[in-house]
Amino acid sequence: MIDRLMANPTLVYAFLGSYLVLLVLLCGYGIHRYQLVHLFYKYRSNAPKLRACFRRLPRVTIQLPMYNERSVAARIIDASCRIDYPRDRLQIQVLDDSTDGTVEVARSAVARWRAKGMDIVHLHRSVRTGYKAGALQEGLRSATGEFVLIFDADFVPPTDILTKTIHYFTDPGVGMVQARWEHINRDQSLLTRTQAILLDGHFVIEHAARNRSGRFMSFNGTAGLWRIGCIDDAGGWQHDTLTEDLDLSYRAQMKGWKFVYLPDLTSPAELPPDMEAFKQQQYRWAKGGAQTCRKLLPTVLRSRLPLRVKIEAFFHLTSCTAYLYVTLLTLFLYPVIYLKVHLFAEGWGRYLFDASVLLLATCGATSFYVASQRVQFKTWAESLKYVPFLMALGIGISLSNSRAALAGFFGKPGEFVRTPKYATCRGDERWKRQVRVSRRRQGAAHVQSMLELAFGCYLASCLALCLIHQKITIGLPFLCLFMVGYFYVPLNTWFGHRLSRGASLGHASHPVPEIPTR
């Protein structure tokens, strides 16, 4: 059948035209990543500076949204109550939408700290209206602070986070101050190490480049301090997208509010040690990004914002579409290799396969992630050895995230599916038992994993075609890498929690602070 199709010149040129369009689109997003690295180094010295300090510290409310977080609920409550800030200036709200034993765990921890004189309340909702955004907005109704500090349940905030962020609000134009995420279980496994590098690229390079060059950055849903007046002015927390943090960030900055990013102030959190949990998290972020793009990008482009801000907003809000291009290019690989073998033995066409596979590999902006590790750990070698797996994992989840982007652009808002937390750290394998007990959506996960496995087999056939015809090219190692990614993701989804050993992979994990409970 493919012989008859490729014998038709019109179809061949239509196919090649579509393929080249996809290559150009993907190349555009790759170049954007390089541009972010350039902006990071160009504006690296443009760090935020304190101009003044409060004579009398303002009142702050800490909000701790949680939903069925039994393993980590007490830890985040204890850590928040230990934050160094005058008690008469601090209120803590535990915004609990749980339907399991988390309710009793949280209620007990709140009662214990209230008995010590802490102004802390447990607000439990039996109906999750608006999910996390709804809980945050409802909590603001009874908040007594001028500012609100938000932490997800798996975070362990440092005790000095308020003293290092609050004084930036002496500038009346500042609406939000964001700390950088660190990772409690960075070295637990190859999966968590790779996730850490992915997030480091976002927090070390991307956030700093945008914020310091005058472009829009986003609040990350946690480890950030907001001026409540800014939230109200921007229209409050809204739940028509799954990324309420990105949505509010753009609405606030379009209103003229300034954001401050502090990369040297870190708050450790847990990375999902389970592949299915990681994919759920990535799916929610990709779908929510597409929803926010559909909701806000037209308004941004019609506004009178500077052109550089509009261009960056376009790439930021449409970044989820890159997964679609990767998936489509993957599907096109077999016909491209066929053309290379049979029709383009000579001339420019024979380089099409090599160019496209190299583009898939390099437009993941290897330099983007390597630079983030260089900034943090001052060495290239430590980061370079994880780059191949980084590329493989990025390709492996592209099918799932493509579905998410399409659902975000064309589907309904959907349910906010929380990322499971296990209070895990290096060497702790108790999370595996929890995965076996709490694994949900097995049907959907099974179908998705079967499709990913089929993609792996498809890439294996592409590899076989190259080897049979002895067309060994520079793109072949990358083709192998992508095939490994598509095999690794479904197999790890099914068996990872049974087979992984939590081995150390390099740097010491971020220590979890000892939190006294009495």
CA distance 45 to 41: 8
Phi-psi group of 426: left, alpha or beta (phi > 0 → left; psi -120 to 50 → alpha; rest → beta) = beta
User: pLDDT at position 361, please?
Assistant: 53
- Asked if pLDDT for residue 105 goes beyond 60, the answer is yes
Query: Which residue from 218, 242, 215, 89 is spatially nearest to 163, judged by alpha carbons?
Result: 89
pLDDT in tens, 14-73: 888 888 888 888 888 888 988 999 999 999 999 999 999 999 999 999 999 999 999 999
Q: What is the mean pLDDT of residues 162-189?
A: 95
User: pLDDT at position 515, please?
Assistant: 46
Judge whether 145 and 61 are in contact, CB under 8 Å.
yes
Strands (E), 244-309: 258-269
CA distance 262 to 373: 17
Tokens 């609100």 — which residue? 148
Q: Estimate the crossing angle of helix 387-396 against helix 321-342, to 10 degrees.
A: 100
CB within 8 Å of 25: residues ≥ 6 apart: 321, 325
pLDDT in tens, 78-102: 999 999 999 999 999 999 999 999 9
Q: What is the mean pLDDT of residues 275-302?
A: 95
List the Cα angle 409/411/416 in 5-degree steps.
Answer: 100
More confident residue, 352 or 68: 68
Which band of pLDDT confidence, cut at 50, 70 and 90, is reported for residue 167? very high
Phi-psi group of 506: left, alpha or beta (phi > 0 → left; psi -120 to 50 → alpha; rest → beta) = left
Query: Which residue from 248, 252, 242 is spatially nearest to 283, judged by alpha carbons?
Result: 242
User: pLDDT at position 400, please?
Assistant: 94
CA distance 139 to 373: 38
H/E/C letters for each residue in 446-480?
HHHHHHHHHHHHHHHHHHHHHHHCCCCCCCHHHHH
| Beta bridge partner(s), residue 120 | 92
CA distance 250 to 452: 34
pLDDT in tens, 56-79: 999 999 999 999 999 999 999 999
Judge whether 255 and 236 are in contact, CB under 8 Å.
no
Burial profile 457-466: b = 16 or more Cβ within 10 angstroms, e = fewer = ebbeebbebb
More confident residue, 183 or 442: 183
Instruction: Dig out the tokens for 444 from the structure.
Output: 């959907």
- Annotated active-site residue in 97, 187, 200, 274: 97
- Asked if pLDDT for residue 506 goes beyond 60, the answer is no
- Asked if pLDDT for residue 489 goes beyond 50, the answer is yes
Clarify whether 233 is annotated catalytic.
no
Instruction: Dig out the tokens for 492 from the structure.
Output: 């790890």
More confident residue, 121 or 442: 121
Average of per-residue pLDDT values in the chain:
86
Tokens 């080897």 — which residue? 467
User: pLDDT at position 6, please?
Assistant: 60
More confident residue, 225 or 393: 225
Clarify whether 200 is annotated catalytic.
no
Judge whether 249 and 219 are in contact, CB under 8 Å.
yes
pLDDT in tens, 151-162: 999 999 999 999
Query: Which residue from 294, 305, 187 is spatially nearest to 246, judged by alpha carbons?
Result: 294
Among 225-234, 256-265, 269-278, which is the least confidently predicted range?
A: 269-278
Of all residues in the chain, what percent carry a pLDDT higher than 90?
A: 60
Q: Estimate the crossing angle of helix 275-302 against helix 476-499, to 10 degrees.
A: 120
User: pLDDT at position 509, please?
Assistant: 44
CA distance 87 to 106: 20
Instruction: Dig out the tokens for 411 from the structure.
Output: 């589907």
Which band of pLDDT confidence, cut at 50, 70 and 90, is reported for residue 332? confident
CATH 3.40.50.720 fits 60-272, yes or no: no
User: pLDDT at position 362, please?
Assistant: 60
CA distance 344 to 336: 10
CA distance 58 to 512: 29
More confident residue, 411 or 10: 411
3-state secondary structure of 212: helix
- Annotated active-site residue in 96, 152, 187, 245: 245
More confident residue, 114 or 33: 114
More confident residue, 267 or 444: 267
CA distance 178 to 260: 6
Judge whether 40 and 71 are in contact, CB under 8 Å.
no
In the chain, CATH 3.90.550.10 sits at 60-272
Judge whether 10 and 344 are in contact, CB under 8 Å.
no
